[in-house]
Amino acid sequence: DTGVSQDPRHKITKRGQNVTFRCDPISEHNRLYWYRQTLGQGPEFLTYFQNEAQLEKSRLLSDRFSAERPKGSFSTLEIQRTEQGDSAMYLCASSLLKRGSSDTQYFGPGTRLTVL
């Protein structure tokens, strides 16, 4: 399968713990995105990268959230000192920038986080 993959698929943690999620984009896709989706809502943008550069970060994103894409391939999203309100599905997507446009974003299956 050559789609976007995410690991783990499910994570249960206690409030106050740190968690880290990994995303592997479609091979050769140079843009990578993180979204968060809560039950009954549409995905909400968190941040995105072009290669290893973080181009945009949501103003809603707390300082407890950090994302990296160190070698321009896979990305990690870390949440420090988790809170119950962080419980959500974390979605990763990737796209290929070409001719100044990279419209189609391909989503992975997501990581479901439950904070107890």
Residue nearer to other proteins on the CB measure, 66 or 96 = 96
d(Cα 52, Cα 101) in Å, to the nearest integer? 18
How far, in Å, CA of 79 to CA of 107, rounded? Answer: 20
Q: How far is the CB of 65 from other proteins (least distance, A)?
A: 16
* Residue 87 engages other proteins in binding (rule: CB under 8 A): no
The yes or no reply on residue 72 touching other proteins (CB under 8 A) is no
Question: Nearer to other proteins by C-beta: 76 or 102?
Answer: 102
Structure tokens at 22: 């990994």
* CA nearest neighbour of 73 among 52, 44, 96: 52
Largest CA distance in the chain: 45
Which residue's CB is nearer to other proteins, number 19 or number 93? Answer: 93
Q: Please give the residue ranges that form the binding site for other proteins (CB under 8 A).
A: 4, 31, 33, 35, 40-45, 48, 55-56, 58, 91, 93, 95, 102-110
